[in-house]
């Protein structure tokens, strides 16, 4: 099978990833992107995007600006955002249990709005977590109440960059310590508990980050510091972790996804320049050496990555004149851009699929010039904004 790309030179074979290991320029260039106040959205045929649902009733306050979303099934979702209040702007949490037809306001966690992203994540209808990077809050009663939780051993300055969960554990990627002596560590807690502990051995020295993906009871995590280190681990049950070969190189921005417990896909992004960067879709099957499947389109600094099903992958990016979703439905051989929001270059965050058909992504946020939640119900072929 021949690998081709819609941007850049074609790949000539499904080679080992070591052939494509290159050191990247820093991917964190979002701060230099100019975000105009207006925006227009279109699919590849130029048609304007429309709402996927008709909302009968809503508990969403006026002026609500979403910052993060988490869905535990195609019908059950949560959206955290900010809305006007006496104090100026207050965190606001809404949820749906009927496929986004109606929304109810819930007790919101006391978090701040941040340019990087204030995050929400639910493992099920009861257990959820929120962070503004500086604090971690938990609920175990479906957002009836929220409590701040401790991260033992995370001394000094601590920053929480990722939240995830399996059917057994919750996870967070945490960077902590003092300048010159930082550590990036995976933390975990059993579901239903606030017993967070560092996962032994799953850490790298330095101020870094990267990604975690889960599937059932399994999890895959990549930790590293750009241009310095990259290590990857996997677990089948959350208790026993094994170091594996990274799907990307130390010079890349790493995004992970998993369509089966034993397999992991990576979007390895590098050479960031003027809102564009190279993006390689890579896969490791059953612990085997990673192989390059294809090259995603050049426009956009990578901000998200998800796989809907075997052979289907979507990458989010911002820059090059728009906010982008690029998608492949043939295992990375060919690519299209089912969503392009022009004029306002705002990040696309929380890209995730609940099953082979349903997925979501957050565009912009309270700290930006616009904010919306886009959704697909056809596996990523088309995307439309939710009515909130």
CATH number of the domain within which 345 lies = 2.130.10
Q: What pLDDT does 287 receive? A: 87
Q: What is the pLDDT of residues 222-257, one digit of tens each?
A: 999 988 999 999 999 999 999 999 999 999 999 999
Q: Does residue 5 fall inside a structural domain?
A: no
Checking DSSP bridges between strand 384-385 and strand 359-364, what pairing results, if any?
unpaired
The mean-pLDDT minimum among 26-35, 55-64, 273-282, 373-382 falls in 26-35
Number of H helices, E strands in the chain: 0, 29
At residue 18, φ and ψ (nearest 5 deg) are -60, -25
Segment holding 1, helix H or strand E: none
- Residue 184, pLDDT > 90, answer yes
Q: What is the pLDDT of residues 256-271, one digit of tens each?
A: 999 999 999 999 999 9
Please tell me whether residue 177 adopts helix, strand or coil conformation.
strand
Q: Does residue 196 fall inside a structural domain?
A: no
- What domain range is 38 assigned to? 17-149+245-385
- Residue 49, pLDDT > 70, answer no
Q: Does residue 188 fall inside a structural domain?
A: no
Contact predicate 185/174, CB 8 Å = yes
Indicate the pLDDT class of residue 340, thresholds 50, 70 and 90: very high
* Sheet bearing 119-122, strands edge to edge: 119-122, 128-131, 136-139, 147-148
Q: Does residue 183 fall inside a structural domain?
A: no
Q: Does residue 110 fall inside a structural domain?
A: yes
Please tell me whether residue 20 adopts helix, strand or coil conformation.
helix
Distance CA 50, CA 155 (A): 47
Q: Does residue 377 fall inside a structural domain?
A: yes
Q: Does residue 197 fall inside a structural domain?
A: no
Q: Does residue 165 fall inside a structural domain?
A: no
At residue 332, φ and ψ (nearest 5 deg) are 90, 0
Total number of domains in the chain: 1
Distance CA 225, CA 202 (A): 14
């Amino acid at each position: 099978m021949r690998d081709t790309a819609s941007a850049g030179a074609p790949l000539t074979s499904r080679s080992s990833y070591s052939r494509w290991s290159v050191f990247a320029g820093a991917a964190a260039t979002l701060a230099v992107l100019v975000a105009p106040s207006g925006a227009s959205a279109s699919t590849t045929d130029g048609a304007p995007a429309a709402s996927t649902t008709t909302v009968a009733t809503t508990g969403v306050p006026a002026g609500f600006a979403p910052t993060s979303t988490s869905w535990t099934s195609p019908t059950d979702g949560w959206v955290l955002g900010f809305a006007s209040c006496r104090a100026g702007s207050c965190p606001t949490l809404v949820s749906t249990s009927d496929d986004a037809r109606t929304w109810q306001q819930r007790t919101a966690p006391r978090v701040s709005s941040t340019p990087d992203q204030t995050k929400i994540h639910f493992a099920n209808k009861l257990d959820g977590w929120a962070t503004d990077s500086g604090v971690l809050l938990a609920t175990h009663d479906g957002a009836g109440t929220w409590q701040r939780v401790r991260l033992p051993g995370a001394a000094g300055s601590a920053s929480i960059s990722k939240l995830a969960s399996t059917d057994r554990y919750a996870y967070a990627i945490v960077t902590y310590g003092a300048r010159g002596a930082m550590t990036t560590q995976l933390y975990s807690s059993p579901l239903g508990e606030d017993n967070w502990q560092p996962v032994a051995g799953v850490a790298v020295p330095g101020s870094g980050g990267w990604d975690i993906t889960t599937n059932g009871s399994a999890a895959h995590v990549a930790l590293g510091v750009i241009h310095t280190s990259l290590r990857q681990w996997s677990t089948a049950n959350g208790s026993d972790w094994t170091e594996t070969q990274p799907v990307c190189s130390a010079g890349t921005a790493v995004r992970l996804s998993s369509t089966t417990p034993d397999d992991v896909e990576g979007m390895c992004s590098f050479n960031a320049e003027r809102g564009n960067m190279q993006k390689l879709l890579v896969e490791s099957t059953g612990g085997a050496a990673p192989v390059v499947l294809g090259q995603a389109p050049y426009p956009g600094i990578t901000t998200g990555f998800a796989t809907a099903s075997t052979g289907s992958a979507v990458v989010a990016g911002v820059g090059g004149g728009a906010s982008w979703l690029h998608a492949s439905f043939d295992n990375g051989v060919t690519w299209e851009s089912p969503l392009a929001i022009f004029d306002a270059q705002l990040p696309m965050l929380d890209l995730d699929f609940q099953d082979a058909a349903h997925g979501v992504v957050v565009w912009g946020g309270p700290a930006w010039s616009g904010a919306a939640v886009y959704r697909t119900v056809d596996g990523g072929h088309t995307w439309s904004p939710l009515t909130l």
